[in-house]
Amino acid sequence: MRTKIVAGNWKMNLTRDESLQLVADIGGEIQNHDLNGNRVMVFPPFINVGYVMDSGNRNQQIEVGAQNLHQAESGAYTGEVAASMLTNIGVNSVILGHSERREYFHEDDDLLKEKVDAALKNGLEVVFCFGEKLFERQAGNHFAIVEQQLKKALFHLSEKDWEKIILAYEPVWAIGTGMTATPEQAQEMHAFIRKTLTKGYSEKLAESISILYGGSVKPNNAEEIFGKTDVDGGLIGGASLKAADFAAIIKALS
């Protein structure tokens, strides 16, 4: 049985005090809700990760992760954060490959392969993001692009390594473009991803991996999206910054 997950990526938002208030409010919204084995994760900006993790008002069901890391163990990389720095303060999970990192910071699959290796070497769980752009989908290359991203960054891993991998498909073409991905399109791509894992590894591994959908999940569409066979939850952006909305999405998993 695959684990279902709702993960909130806070991106570059919220001060320390706002972060503490949000995690407390989310906890309050779900305190009487049985997660039934599902996971809830939040990913604050680096500067707030420790505060949120140590907050006395955090519902302990809410896991706290980091939004990125550098591939090197240490060194002259001003402004960067190493995997060991994250694990030292108790972080267990990290997002890698987010579409914004690929677009604005020019992270490619070769670099992400190094980052994945650094994370796993330090015992971190990786939420690995990937997905096609609008021109790639319009050209009919969306399956090929997704397959390439997975293979180049992840297919060197052993089956044991995959126990620390969560996949998050982002239809970049439907984010901020005015276009909308349907639940059926989400299912189609998630099924393709699982088929790709089956071909590269095994059906057993493919069926064990949680694949999250990262395409503008909101309270009014979460239940339908999460109801699709191969969708195991969502990586949530804007809606994760509103406690009531995020809680409604969490409850849509059940």
Residues 4 and 38: beta-carbon distance below 8 Å? yes
β-sheet with 62-64: strand ranges across? 62-64, 39-43, 5-9, 233-236, 211-213, 165-169, 125-130, 93-96
Active site residue 29: no
Residues 235 and 7: beta-carbon distance below 8 Å? yes
Active site residue 170: yes
Please tell me which residue in 63, 98, 100, 107 is annotated as part of the active site: 98
203-221 CB burial, b ≥16 within 10 A, e <16: eebbebbbbbbbbbbbbeb
Torsion of CA 116, 218, 100, 79, to 10 degrees: -70
Please tell me which residue in 100, 142, 170, 190 is annotated as part of the active site: 170
Catalytically annotated residues: 98, 170
